[in-house]
Structure 1
């Protein structure tokens, strides 16, 4: 696998300083399979069909009910009313509590098939007798957190759905998950209210158009400045009117620019939003980097959290955007 691909995966997975996702140890569970079922309305008669973002048309005799999903996909589907029976990807922290990436999913009611990159318990997956696997994609055709080494076996067990993230807006991604959830008979409870909240918060963003906003993630030896067009949440923010810093030279792959901490002042910004995922450096750790600590936005106290993997649901984005608006109200343009 090429270096740029590994770098992209390391950044996106945000594991062990964003470069060592593949070196983390496994921590799968050993509990018996559950016989879960999604909280949905009655399945549609006459079979089920869905065309995913790989342009792959799926046709089944009946609506899938035993669904396994990557944590981001599970979080989105859960908010629409679909209850997966198992998840894979970061869902449990070292202390046993829930990883923020899994959103509102009740991890006590789903099986865990893997908690880190390249970990997927194929035997347990087979024993669950799934009807469908759902995952997001950063690269078309590559299901996020489905390991290459077991991809063929996994895809033989049940049909798979891929939802594309890269180069799309959050509203587009949410719309795809909504369409999928509806096809699965989801209840849509609370969706209209959450959609209204998301739309209201989005409208407020334009009032902060004079603020230069930089989004970044920190590792032990480098910081990453993200490239807005590649991320659904940032496409949403820029479309809504925010002035988000775009790096002048991105790494191969297009997702970000890698800077040494000595060059943390490469871009001017009034506000810095930092990646809150669990393996990224925390603010107190980044403040130990002298160049970062002296940035005008940091000295002004305009360093705010960025939920880099907010669930692609109206509920998830209502919470994300309302929190962002609340923080930007406290910020001001700097000289």
Structure 2
């Protein structure tokens, strides 16, 4: 960072960003935005992926919709004029390959002339490292005052064709921060006040994450249940997750959860097959993808337990603590 830059960040593509002041207006992919909110940074707007429609997917929204953060629709169909009207200081996305942002076109952000930060959620990092990276970004977005969530966007955005499913889809969260803005104007909705710039909130979230890890480790030690993670693709097809390809599933395995591998076949992260193959693995507990674009579980043996799984859980200690607690409960006798 040069002497004229008050803020700088190197993302997981190796791209360096800098600015004369800490970015106050953040537009983010919904998964990243939900994580930043947990870390005390409220985006002015969020956008979805090619899987998403014109309204929030409840599995991805978290509390963003409830607190009034506008949703812009799929990122590949974003209107440049709408983004310019939002006046972002930085755009935050995720990357699965360490090269490209997942949910929007980098060229669009380049035309805006603002930094684009893409943080890895792929298999090259373990879950604590992923959580650390989001916490580090949030800690750098440190300004004071309430945040304006930006102009209200009305009407649907153009929906791009569905893109490829994420490959996946770490803790140690930093202190919460507050995003502020010096923007004024009649189109700004009522400000949302977020956490103080320094406070115990993230320390409490980290403590809860560690307690949830311990509870899950204990539940796994008492359970012999075989767990299969999957994403339904209709009555005839299902995507079965390869546990070691997904940071969160690999972390569960390290805590003692007995995750089932779908076996050999094409696909580094999913094995796409029929429901009869899933049934043949004889799972005791199925973690089913609960995002809107996935279909419910079909044709599984009677007595199989079901528990929801969001493969795009926000990368924050608070969000994963909730997931670990829910899974520990699902594993209980």
TM-score tier by shorter-chain length is: 0.7 to 0.9
| TM-score, normalised relative to structure 2 | 0.74
Structure 1 residue runs of 5 or longer lacking an equivalent are: 1-44, 331-335
Note the C-alpha offset of 1:250.
4.5
Provide the C-alpha distance between the structure 1 equivalents of 2:275 and 2:211, rounded to a whole number of angstroms. Answer: 37
Provide the C-alpha distance between the structure 1 equivalents of 2:72 and 2:56, rounded to a whole number of angstroms. Answer: 16
| Aligned partner of 1:247 among 246, 258, 262 | 262
Note the C-alpha offset of 1:117.
6.3
Matched, 1:172 2:129: yes
Match of 2:231? Answer: 217
Match of 1:11? Answer: none
Provide the C-alpha distance between the structure 2 equivalents of 1:155 and 1:131, rounded to a whole number of angstroms. Answer: 12
Note the C-alpha offset of 1:175.
0.7
Q: Is the 8 A contact 1:227 1:250 kept in 2?
A: no
Distance of aligned partners of 1:302 and 1:188 in 2 relative to their CA distance in 1, 3 Å threshold: farther
Matched, 1:100 2:56: no
| Aligned partner of 2:271 among 252, 257, 265 | 257
Q: 1:33-63: per-residue Cα shift (whole Å, max 9, x none)?
A: xxxxxxxxxxxx9610111111222221111
* Number of residue-to-residue matches in the alignment: 270
Q: 1:189-244: per-residue Cα shift (whole Å, max 9, x none)?
A: 52111211111111222331533211111121201110112222112211222121
Q: Is the 8 A contact 2:30 2:47 kept in 1?
A: yes
Provide the C-alpha distance between the structure 1 equivalents of 2:54 and 2:110, rounded to a whole number of angstroms. Answer: 32
Structure 2 residue runs of 5 or longer lacking an equivalent are: 143-176, 178-196
Match of 2:174? Answer: none
Matched, 1:133 2:136: no
Provide the C-alpha distance between the structure 2 equivalents of 1:156 and 1:117, rounded to a whole number of angstroms. Answer: 15
Note the C-alpha offset of 1:144.
1.7
| Aligned partner of 1:282 among 293, 296, 299 | 296
Match of 2:118? Answer: 162
| Aligned partner of 1:142 among 85, 100, 118 | 100
Provide the C-alpha distance between the structure 1 equivalents of 2:240 and 2:128, rounded to a whole number of angstroms. Answer: 23
Provide the C-alpha distance between the structure 2 equivalents of 1:250 and 1:163, rounded to a whole number of angstroms. Answer: 29
Is the partner of 1:59 in helix, strand or coil?
A: strand
More helix by share: 1
Q: 1:61-80: per-residue Cα shift (whole Å, max 9, x none)?
A: 11111111000000000011
| Aligned partner of 1:308 among 308, 311, 324 | 311
Matched, 1:76 2:35: yes
